Each structure stands twice: as structure tokens, then as C-alpha cells.
């Protein structure tokens, strides 16, 4: 696999952006005084460490682990730089982001939908459809509500800038403002697209998963999310390989 075949990625963080490469990840953060801070940490992604993690479908789970590890570390570091707090303190925004992600995962994939379908007396197929619809509704409401805050709007602006930068690089253009601003804010491998794809595939597959007792149901839902995330990753990777960017 050549260097040009590697998909670069990233995400928005507090006051800036994170960019991940095959060799490590870097941060660019502006503090409240508009000073630019840079940080780089060498780290080889799981998918490049051995053949097991590079295998189809397994690599999707590895990418998810990498994304969560680097993402939470980057958000914590960016918060310390942006807010100029001590290491043992966290800003309100950092706490909101961290805990809202954890709560959303529990609500979207396990507790909320399961509790809802327990209140209706429908067939397995119908309860699976209702559970899938409820997951999608939670995602839409969550994105809508968090998008109305000022801090989140700034985060979305950085998110769009990260997409444009990655797109310019993948199109073999320069990373100057003149080239970067010609690309759209949307990107085919966006994490939001990944999330909606997981919800959509869950909607299609949940009706075929039997409902048993609450403990086994919780376990099967967790395993279901892992499997669906693997499938979703392969779909996004296939779409990117056949896009005009390559």
C-alpha cells in the first residue's frame, strides 16, 4: 500500500482542527488571544501495524478504536490550549462534548430504543423497525440541538475547514487558501456520514435480530453495533475508492 493510497482524515476540535496521517496526528489550535499553537504526535494506526488489523471489516473496528482514542485525547489537549486552564480542570464545553458523546452512544444503540420497543406489543419485525427509526430520530435531534449553540457552530466551521483541507490534499492541490476554498465543506468520509450509515444499516438489519431477555438483548445490540460499524466503514471506503478524488 503506497503513501498515496492512504486516506488522511481528521476532525474539528476546540479552537482548531485535528489531522491524522499514516505516521501520526497533529493539531492546529488558536487560543483566546488568537495565537496559533501546533502539536504533533507520532502514532501508527492499528490498520498499518499488522495483517490482522488490516483485514477487511476488522480494519473498520480498528479505525473506530483509533478515532476514539486520538479524538478524545485531541479534544482534551485542545481544551487546555484554548481555555488556558490547568491540567486538572476542564471547561464546560469539553465536559459537554465528552459526556454527550457517551450518553448518545448509550441512548442511540442500547437503552433508549430498547426501552421504547418494550412498551409496545408488536411482532419482532415491527419492533426492529421502530427501534431503528428511534435511533435515527435521536441522531437528528441531537445534531439539531447541539448545532444551535455558539461554540458548536464554531466547531462546525472548523469541521468544514478540515473537510476542505483534506479534499484539497487528496486532489493533489496545494494547501493554500486559494486552492482549499475551492472545495466543498462536505466530504465523502465525514464522521457524520458514517454515523448516519450505521443508523440506516441498523434500521435494515434489526428486524432480523431476535428479542430475548434484556441482558442478552443488550449484548446482541452491542455486537450488532460493532458489526454494522465494520460494514459501514467498508462501504465508505469503497465509495471513496471509486470517487473522483482518486
Task: Yes or no: say if 17 and 165 are a contact pair by the CB < 8 Å rule.
Answer: yes
In a domain, 246, yes or no: no
Asked if 100 and 146 touch (Cβ cutoff 8 Å), the reply is yes
**Across the chain, how many H-helices and E-strands are there?**
9, 4
The count of domains in the chain is 1
Question: What distances in angstroms separate CA 174 from CA 113, 157, 184, 186, 246, one per listed residue?
Answer: 46, 20, 15, 18, 16
Residue 176 lies in a domain: yes
Q: What is the pLDDT along the chain (246 residues), one digit of tens a residue?
A: 444 445 688 888 888 899 988 889 999 988 878 888 999 999 998 888 888 998 988 988 888 788 888 888 888 888 777 766 544 445 555 566 666 666 666 665 565 566 666 666 666 667 667 777 777 777 777 777 777 777 778 888 888 888 898 888 888 899 899 999 899 888 777 766 777 787 788 778 877 777 666 677 777 877 888 888 888 888 887 776 655 433
CA-to-CA dists, residue 17 to 10, 106, 135, 191, angstroms: 7, 26, 28, 14
Instruction: Say how many CA atoms lie within 13 Å of 59 toward its Cβ.
Output: 15
Q: Is residue 113 part of a domain?
A: yes
Place of cell 486552564: 85
Integer CA distances (angstroms), 1 to 4, 5, 78, 111, in order: 8, 6, 32, 41
Range of the domain at 71: 3-241
What's the whole-model pTM score?
0.67
Amino acid at each position: 500500500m503506497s503513501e498515496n493510497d492512504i486516506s488522511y482524515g481528521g476532525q474539528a476540535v476546540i479552537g482548531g482542527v485535528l489531522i491524522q496521517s499514516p505516521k501520526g496526528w497533529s493539531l492546529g489550535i488558536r487560543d483566546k488571544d488568537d495565537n496559533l499553537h501546533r502539536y504533533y504526535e507520532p502514532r501508527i494506526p492499528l490498520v498499518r501495524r499488522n495483517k490482522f488489523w488490516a483485514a477487511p471489516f476488522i480494519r473498520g473496528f480498528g479505525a473506530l478504536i483509533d478515532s476514539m482514542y486520538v479524538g478524545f485525547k485531541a479534544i482534551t489537549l485542545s481544551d487546555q490550549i484554548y481555555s488556558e486552564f490547568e491540567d486538572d480542570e476542564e471547561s464546560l464545553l469539553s465536559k459537554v462534548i465528552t459526556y454527550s458523546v457517551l450518553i448518545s452512544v448509550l441512548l442511540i444503540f442500547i437503552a433508549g430504543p430498547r426501552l421504547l420497543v418494550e412498551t409496545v406489543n408488536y411482532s419482532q419485525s415491527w419492533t426492529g423497525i421502530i427501534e431503528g427509526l428511534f435511533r435515527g430520530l435521536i441522531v437528528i435531534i441531537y445534531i439539531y440541538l447541539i448545532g444551535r449553540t455558539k461554540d458548536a457552530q464554531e466547531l462546525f466551521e472548523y469541521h468544514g475547514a478540515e473537510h476542505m483541507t483534506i479534499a484539497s490534499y487528496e486532489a493533489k492541490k496545494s494547501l493554500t487558501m486559494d486552492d482549499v476554498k475551492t472545495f466543498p465543506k462536505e466530504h465523502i468520509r465525514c464522521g457524520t456520514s458514517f454515523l448516519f450509515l450505521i443508523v440506516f444499516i441498523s434500521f435494515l438489519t434489526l428486524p432480523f435480530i431476535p428479542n430475548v431477555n434484556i441482558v442478552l438483548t443488550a449484548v446482541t445490540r452491542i455486537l450488532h453495533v460493532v458489526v454494522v460499524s465494520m460494514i459501514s466503514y467498508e462501504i465508505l471506503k469503497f465509495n471513496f475508492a471509486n470517487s473522483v478524488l482518486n
